[in-house]
């Protein structure tokens, strides 16, 4: 029986890269999307071409009823969840000086980027604990690895961008959320880690491509290229496949070396 991963925001960009990498490693995927069914179905087709099974599930993770429906859909289709990847995220719809940030923009970004992942993790963690108590063992055809939660953070967790403060705050919160769930779930054998991408070439960064082309060329990152969704996908697979069994609450930087202090 294939292992089952629920990846939020898996219709495109980093989420798609993660879904495809997991499919190539033999995982079945629950591909969550909020509004773009076409891209989610494209991802599902690519997952199936890579040999994985795929369920496409619409849900706004910022809404409690949608989160519950998403988890139930995964359980109805596959019977369990072995991995949750909290990837769905958004930047502010309009970048503006932090002195002008609106409550509406703040609430929307925090709802998707932090509140939603927090309560989805809570819901899935309860499901995982129930699986550990009464679910199948590997000998019975179950997962060979304990369940895990992987949060997709951002270098914006520690890098100031005053024109999108709500995004930075949300990603800093994801870092603490990772520590909290890692601490709480370690005794049950559920590891929780954060993968922290840097400048990755996606739809979200397409509007600033010229700016970052120059910065990367001038040495902003020691590895002088854009990150790609598959770079993040490979990091997620390494964690998901149990290659870091003695690590929890950890941050895996996938940022071309951006995080290093350099002179």
**Residues 6+ positions from 41 with CB-CB distance below 8 Å:** 56
The tokens describing 135, both together, are 């679910």
- 167 given a catalytic annotation: yes
Given 106, 158, 167, 212, the catalytic residue: 167
CB proximity list for 35: less than 8 A, separation 6 or greater: none
Name 231's Cβ contacts closer than 8 Å, sequence gap at least 6.
17, 197, 200, 254
Is residue 163 within 8 A of residue 95, CB to CB? The reply is yes
From the list 83, 84, 73, 78, the residue with the least C-alpha distance to 1 is 78
Q: Is 28 helix (H, G, I), strand (E, B) or coil?
A: strand
Residues with a catalytic annotation lie at: 167
């Amino acid at each position: 029986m294939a292992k089952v991963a629920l990846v939020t925001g898996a219709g495109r960009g980093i989420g798609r890269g993660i879904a495809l990498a997991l499919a190539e490693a033999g995982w079945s995927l629950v591909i969550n999307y909020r509004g773009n069914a076409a891209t989610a179905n494209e991802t599902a087709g690519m997952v199936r071409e890579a040999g994985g099974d795929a369920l496409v599930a619409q849900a706004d993770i910022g809404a409690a009823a949608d989160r519950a429906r998403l988890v139930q859909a995964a359980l109805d289709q596959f019977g369990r969840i072995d991995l949750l990847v909290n990837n769905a995220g958004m930047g502010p719809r309009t970048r503006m000086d932090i002195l002008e940030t609106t409550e509406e923009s703040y609430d929307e970004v925090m709802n998707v980027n932090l509140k939603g992942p927090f309560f989805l993790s809570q819901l899935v963690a309860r499901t995982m604990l129930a699986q550990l108590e009464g679910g199948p063992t590997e000998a019975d055809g179950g997962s060979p690895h304990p369940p895990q939660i992987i949060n997709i953070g951002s270098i914006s967790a520690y890098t100031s961008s005053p024109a999108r403060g709500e995004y930075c705050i949300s990603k800093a919160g994801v870092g603490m959320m990772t520590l909290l769930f890692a601490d709480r779930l370690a005794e049950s054998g559920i590891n929780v880690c954060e993968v922290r991408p840097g400048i990755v070439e996606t739809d979200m960064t397409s509007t600033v491509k010229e700016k970052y082309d120059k910065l990367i060329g001038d040495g902003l990152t020691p590895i002088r290229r854009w990150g790609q969704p598959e770079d993040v996908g490979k990091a997620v697979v390494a964690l998901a496949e149990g290659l870091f069994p003695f690590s929890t609450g950890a941050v895996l930087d996938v940022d071309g070396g951006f995080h290093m202090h350099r002179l």
